Amino acid sequence: MRKKIFLVLIVLTFLIEGTVSVLFLRKSKRVEQDVVAVNDCVKTVEENFGNPEKYLKKLSYSVVGSEGEVLYKTDEKVSTSVVEAIRNGDIIVDLHAEGEEPGKVLVRNQTAEQIEKWQWYIAVTIFLSSLVQAILILSYTMYLHKTIIRPFDEMSGFAQRVAGGDLEVPLQMDKRNVFGSFTEAFDLMRTELRKSRAAEKAAYDAKKDMVAQLSHDIKTPVASIKSASEFGYELAQDEKVKERFNLINFKADELTVLVDNLFVDSVKDASEIKVSPRENDASTVKEAILHADFQNRAGEFEIPACKVFTDRLRLQQAFDNVFINSYKYADTKITVDAKLEDGYLKVAIRDFGPGVTDEEVAVLKEKYRRGRNSEGKEGAGIGLYLTSYFMKEMDGEILITNEDPGLQVLFLIRTI
């Protein structure tokens, strides 16, 4: 609807400009010298030649003598010689008084003056309409940026984050722009992907738990078999029987090694997330915080200008994890403070919730560890674990401390 209004206004200004210009041009072509007024002036001068007080003043003209001398002029704009009058396109009329020609009347050409005035009006009209058009086009450009370009950029960044595995931060929806419905569908895809990933992780964890339990359970009978084979080996008298017991013992050792390896693999994170830090401007840190704080809890803050050693995507995920935890467990306002110190950009993110116990603070960065306040809330206990991992891969660190009130996560981001 707004696009149509902008386009109609632009077209309307063009029509108004064209209409006014045509009217002024037509009017300027109709400007003619008042012949009757010229004749009245000439006749009056002839009848009162030499007596300027009785001359008519309705026109702009001058009277020159037969020798070219100026006998009378109404104003300074009139021509004062025949040559000048011819050059200006003025009306030149010979005077006849008592059978003689005592001089000439040089009537100023007002047609050119009127045309010039109307042309000036046309120029002003075109300037004003062009100014209005420029304002409308600028407004329309800003409207397109707000409703199309900026939402598209946000979706592009959102797609990169989803591709990087960040499925926690929702995409803000504004159904008034052209991407409204598409944005909703895009965010629905993120939600379904998160559910699918959660289900996949649950299945994977269940499988790991089952493998760990089985490998643990297998160890007991294998140990029994090994013990029995060693006992049988000592009791056996026949060399062939001893050889068989020795083979059983060897295979039991081999099986023990395989079961141990299986147990270790079942409890170890099999996937290594790639982190590729490089030099970035500190403005990327502020941008990451603003994107992570999609509920706008942090308010105004500043990041000191510097160069940092970061992976932009992983830093974004790190901040996302911290803000998501604050939204989920504290649900309060958030403060962001940043300063340069000891070769690091230190960014402190603090909420004002109930916090956690001192014992829990020490283990929050461990995998699958969650505080007591997480009961009844979804989560896997790997957010701060991954955040800590990402920061270490970028030569940084996070420090978690209890405040009064709230919890603070201090990011140590290495500067260059």
Residue 299, in any domain of the structure: yes
Residue 54, in any domain of the structure: yes
Residue 151, in any domain of the structure: no
Domain shared by 332 and 396, yes or no: yes
Domain shared by 215 and 308, yes or no: no
pLDDT for res 270:
39
Domain shared by 307 and 385, yes or no: yes
Domain shared by 407 and 298, yes or no: yes
- Total domains in the fold of the chain: 3
Domain shared by 247 and 306, yes or no: no
Q: What is the CATH number of the domain that holds 356?
A: 3.30.565.10
- The dihedral formed by the CA atoms of 56, 61, 63 and 69, expressed in degrees to the nearest 10: 150
Decide if 387 contacts 347 (C-beta within 8 A): no
Give me 414's structure tokens: 């290495």
Residue 204, in any domain of the structure: yes
Predicted structure pTM score = 0.44
Residue 159, in any domain of the structure: no
Walk along the chain (416 residues) in steps of 10 and give the mean pLDDT of each run. 64 68 57 72 86 85 90 89 88 82 86 69 76 78 74 69 69 60 69 79 70 59 75 84 84 74 56 81 94 87 95 90 88 94 95 87 78 59 84 94 92 96
> Taken in order 359, 365, 371, 373, is the CA torsion positive or negative?
positive
Q: What is the CATH number of the domain that holds 226?
A: 1.10.287
Side-chain half-sphere CA neighbours of 133 within 13 A: 14
Distance CA 22, CA 2 (A): 30
Domain final position from 86, 108, 130: 108
pLDDT for res 217:
54
Domain range spanning residue 395? 278-414
Domain shared by 262 and 290, yes or no: no
Domain final position from 233, 267, 301: 267
Domain shared by 320 and 391, yes or no: yes
Closest alpha carbon to 161 in 281, 283, 294:
294
Domain shared by 313 and 249, yes or no: no
Residue 332, in any domain of the structure: yes
Domain shared by 64 and 94, yes or no: yes
pLDDT for res 396:
96
Decide if 284 contacts 319 (C-beta within 8 A): no
Domain shared by 331 and 373, yes or no: yes
Domain shared by 96 and 184, yes or no: no
Domain final position from 267, 300, 327: 267
Domain shared by 291 and 344, yes or no: yes
Residue 149, in any domain of the structure: no
Residue 222, in any domain of the structure: yes
pLDDT digits (tens, 9 = 90+) for 302-324: 999 999 999 998 898 899 889 98
Q: What is the CATH number of the domain that holds 98?
A: 3.30.450.20
pLDDT for res 31:
46
330: CB partners within 8 A, 6+ apart? 351, 352, 353, 354, 406, 407
pLDDT for res 144:
73
Q: Which alpha helices (H) appear in 103-179, and where do they start and end?
A: 110-144, 150-163
